Structure 1
Amino acid sequence: MATPKFTDKKYYIVLSFVTSLFFFWAIALTMGDVLNKHFQNLLHISKSKSGLVQLSIFGAYALMGIPAGIFMKRFGYKSGVILGLSLFALGAFLFIPAADTSSFDFFRLALFVLAMGMATLETVAHPFVAALGDERTSDQRVNFAQSFNGLGAIIGPLLGGYFIFGTPDSGSGSLNSVKNLYTWIGIVILVITIIFSFIRVPDLKDSHAEDILILENEKGEEESISDPHAPLYKQRHFIFAVIAQFFNIAAQGGTWAYFINYGVEKMHLPEIQASCYFSLSMAMMMIGRFIGTFLMRFIAPNKLLAIFTTCNIILCLVISQSFGWVSFISLILLNLFLSVMYPTIFSLGLKRLGSKVQQASSFLVMAMFGGAVFLRSWVELQRKISPMLIYFLSCAMQ
């Protein structure tokens, strides 16, 4: 049997563009964690209240997941991308009046609209990338695209740290640096939206939507798989993926939102330096995805997921004991093992779902609401519950 291609030539332009979306929303998502600390400083809010930043972001994921999936199924991938980018740009431009009024609630509204755009893009982009080629290489394409998500996650804290903490305005009580940064983000996203509207998308056949009841594994043996016609609630692997994603994002959101606080309060680092360490931690995530993609050639994805989760349990134990630099390095390394969780859970959850892939993608994006549920009271919770509990729950559900 011939080795399936990564993708076909006719998909090159579209795949390049959709892959870039993973890069852009990662920048916006991780920049929200920099804003978390900045709002504490300038708007004089508590750490607990600053968690409403992530509540606004992940809350949008919960509300927009299903509508985005319905829109995508009715109007197609291209229209879904344009909708997501338009909401993304609108949210960025709303930072202008939010900064002018110095209103935390207005900032939350801007972040909510921006996150609605990101949620739409995430709902559309994963099945879109999977559809751009042979079904047998869909995992490779998703992991490839997610690698650029890791690159964006590195650049986000660096951009945020420089423009928000590293400018003369940052210490003056002014929010002009935030306004200027998001104005430029809005302009860039708007230009990308206009360009993509002129790109022709070839006819696509959903790579997952094949009525297959039996597949041949690499040894040529037959392997029974689930019925793609069965409803989603009867697809056990999909249900487990949604639950796992909920707890995975809960753990991830809590780690990222207060990384800079940990660096400032526990390690006594300047905020801009803590932002750089946060960026280094995101680099660990990108490296972890490349390592994970390689290891999946030898280790089943679900087993690798369990191994990486176990490593994070150990790291969380070290972090929770405040062993100085040993704990801080463990915090940086946490993302190395968080790396494969999101794309692997997402990819495994979409397997063998036939024509229900778009609907399933919506629920997997909605599961990111776990970040909001746990993060709202993370400061209070961490006094009573060790972060490792979140990872134990995540591991148990996988």
Structure 2
Amino acid sequence: MALLASLFFMWGFITVINNTLLPHLRSVFDLSYTQTTLIESVWFIAYFVASIPSAKLIERLGYQKSMVIGLLIMAAGALGMTLAASIPSYGVTLVMLFVIASGITLLQVAANPYVAVVGKPETASSRLNLVQAMNSAGTMLAPMFGAYLILGRSKGGTAQGDVVLTQAERLADAQSVVLPYVLVAGVLVVLAVVIARFPLPAMGAATQRHNKEERKKHSLWNHRNLVFGIPAIFIYLIAEIGVANLFVNFVSQPDIANLTHEQAGNYLTFLWGGMMVGRFAGSAIMQKFDAGHVLAAFSIGAFLVMLVTVFTTGPIAMWSLILVGLFHSIMFPTIFTLGIKGLGPLTEEGSGLLIMAIAGGALVVVQGWLADMYGLQTSFLLTAACELYVLFYALWGCKVTNALPDQHAQ
């Protein structure tokens, strides 16, 4: 569990570097909001493309070797980002971010179901929230890392508001991503070596597929909690990624907080810090209260603060957007564990579909389009609508039907 927590930390860290990378690339390549959010869409398309191949690779090579391969793929993509910076090239940047995200997908497919089945089913949500808190620790530190080493070392990042750079300034700013990604690649290689040498326990029967004849007796689509859980993950990711990716641009606006991108990147730490605090708290709360009821309460809180964000200005709008991180905190791990509850030996297949649904983050480009058409602040109404579907899932969609006997990792 401790070793897996380090994986959760690293993929959270690398994912959130994008939140400071996006405003940086927007100024370097002079991108619209639609083009900027397309960068993140490519990242999440990787989840859709790589999930099934990842499951096949795990089935063929086992979990430990697959985790090592995933880390090395991420390291290769991180080094490729230095190539994208040296050109600089918008297209190469998209390709390398896709490579990094594919490596993270492989880790996600392996680690999330492992944590869910390694203990009692009743406390699966609590357990996954606990290790996801380490993911949030990575997401909390990443904005400071990105703000200092990327935005703080670039002309576009230290300028007040949006600035149009000269060609020379763009080339100079592009180079600021080299050092951060070299450091990240080095850490990933070290972690791959550690995991390759570590004696991980076998997953056991809990994640083994039925043989072909036995498998015909069961259908994943008979389980309501999974059927509605897949779109719940998909829709929730639109909300989470939209908030995180547009946060810096939003709070930098003159009528909100009037900050530089570097300063706004530091405030992003509070957003992800709220997610870490919420997951630690949620892990404790769900030891005593039903996970579905807790999810419902958090989704109502998220909906209300998003309305405040849309219909107010100044510091109130900024801090309400920061506060949504606290309410988003438990959503992914809780939806995931509620989605695979009662799947028994079908847990592996159900987990793969839920991880594939992370591709919902790719539709953040829709919010980018809304921001271009109707204004950045108005675009957060999409986020508010997403919270309502999570509330529906918590109140009704997560109810288990046709439950199969639970099995445990050995």
In the alignment, which residue of structure 2 is the partner of 1:319?
309
Q: Distance in 2 between matches of 1:148 and 1:228?
A: 38
In the alignment, which residue of structure 2 is the partner of 1:247?
235
Q: What whole-Å deviation, never above 9, does each CA across 1:106-147 have from its counterpart, x for those lacking one?
A: 111110000001111111111222344455554443222111
How is 1:177-216 mapped onto 2 (pairs within 5 angstroms)? 177-207=176-206
Structure number with the higher helix fraction is 2
Q: Distance in 2 between matches of 1:186 and 1:364?
A: 28
State the one-letter code of the partner of 1:391: E
State the one-letter code of the partner of 1:63: V
Q: What whole-Å deviation, never above 9, does each CA across 1:32-83 have from its counterpart, x for those lacking one?
A: 1111100111121112101111111111011111111222233221122112
Tell me if structure 2 keeps the 8 A contact 1:284–1:335: yes
- Are 2:347 and 1:351 aligned? no
Tell me if structure 2 keeps the 8 A contact 1:251–1:391: yes
Equivalent in 239, 244, 261 of residue 256 of structure 1: 244
Percentage of matched positions with identical amino acids? 28
- More displaced stretch, 284-293 vs 332-341: 284-293
How is 1:309-388 mapped onto 2 (pairs within 5 angstroms)? 309-373=299-363, 375-382=364-371, 383=374, 386-387=381-382, 388=384
How is 1:167-316 mapped onto 2 (pairs within 5 angstroms)? 167=153, 172-173=169-170, 174=172, 175-207=174-206, 230-265=218-253, 266-316=256-306
Shift of the 272–305 alpha-carbon distance from structure 1 to 2, 3 Å rule, reads same
Unaligned runs of 5+ residues in structure 1 are 1-14, 212-226
State the one-letter code of the partner of 1:232: L
Secondary structure of the corresponding residue to residue 201 of structure 2: coil
**TM-score when scaled to structure 2?**
0.84
Equivalent in 29, 32, 55 of residue 69 of structure 1: 55
Shift of the 168–45 alpha-carbon distance from structure 1 to 2, 3 Å rule, reads closer
Q: CA deviation at 1:21?
A: 0.2
State the one-letter code of the partner of 2:34: S
- More displaced stretch, 350-359 vs 54-63: 350-359
In the alignment, which residue of structure 2 is the partner of 1:127?
113
- More displaced stretch, 321-330 vs 105-114: 321-330
Tell me if structure 1 keeps the 8 A contact 2:274–2:323: yes
Equivalent in 147, 162, 174 of residue 148 of structure 2: 162
- Are 2:391 and 1:392 aligned? no
Equivalent in 137, 149, 157 of residue 151 of structure 1: 137
CA RMSD of aligned residues (A): 2.2
- Are 2:31 and 1:35 aligned? no
Tell me if structure 1 keeps the 8 A contact 2:149–2:176: yes
Shift of the 184–210 alpha-carbon distance from structure 1 to 2, 3 Å rule, reads closer
Q: Distance in 1 between matches of 2:18 and 2:277?
A: 22
Tell me if structure 1 keeps the 8 A contact 2:125–2:283: no
Count of paired positions? 368
Secondary structure of the corresponding residue to residue 377 of structure 1: helix
Q: Distance in 2 between matches of 1:16 and 1:336?
A: 24
State the one-letter code of the partner of 2:131: A
Secondary structure of the corresponding residue to residue 45 of structure 1: coil
State the one-letter code of the partner of 1:189: L
- Are 2:17 and 1:48 aligned? no
Unaligned runs of 5+ residues in structure 2 are 159-168, 395-410
